[in-house]
């Protein structure tokens, strides 16, 4: 079966349109994939920044905790000394009253 000249031109135009459509579709797909990759990369960078900040805060809070534990131990030692002194004085007072 023979094709007319108009049919050949129409089929050629359809083929050309399909090719252009495929190129545009692939280009658009590339753009969308690039945008997705940039967004994912930005999210990963934000996550790493948040983790780094949290670790810094954890170090800072750890330093505060160590300092407070040290101060608490010193205060407990001071309290123990004062309690012993109080017990000794009370024992002395009790002996004076008993005499």
Predicted confidence (pLDDT) per residue in 41-78, tens digit: 999 999 999 988 988 888 899 999 999 999 999 999 99
Enter the DSSP assignment of 4.
P
* Residue 92 in this model has a pLDDT that exceeds 80: yes
Q: What is the pLDDT of residue 36?
A: 87
Q: What is the pLDDT of residue 75?
A: 96
Calpha distance 38→41 (Å, rounded): 5
pLDDT tens digits for range 18-42: 776 777 777 777 777 788 888 899 9
For 78, list phi and psi in degrees, rounded to 5: -65, -40
Q: What is the pLDDT of residue 45?
A: 92
Q: What is the pLDDT of residue 90?
A: 96
Torsion sign over Cα 41, 42, 47, 49: positive
Q: What is the pLDDT of residue 1?
A: 53
């Amino acid at each position: 079966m023979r094709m007319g000249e108009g049919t050949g031109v129409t089929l050629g135009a359809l083929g050309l349109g399909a090719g252009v459509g495929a190129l545009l579709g692939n280009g658009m797909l590339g753009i969308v994939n690039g945008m997705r990759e940039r967004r994912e990369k930005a999210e990963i960078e934000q996550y790493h920044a948040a983790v780094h900040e949290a670790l810094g805060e954890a170090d800072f809070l750890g330093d505060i905790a160590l300092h407070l534990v040290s101060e608490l131990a010193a205060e407990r030692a001071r309290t123990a000394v004062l309690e012993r002194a109080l017990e000794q004085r009370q024992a002395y007072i009790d002996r004076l009253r008993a005499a």
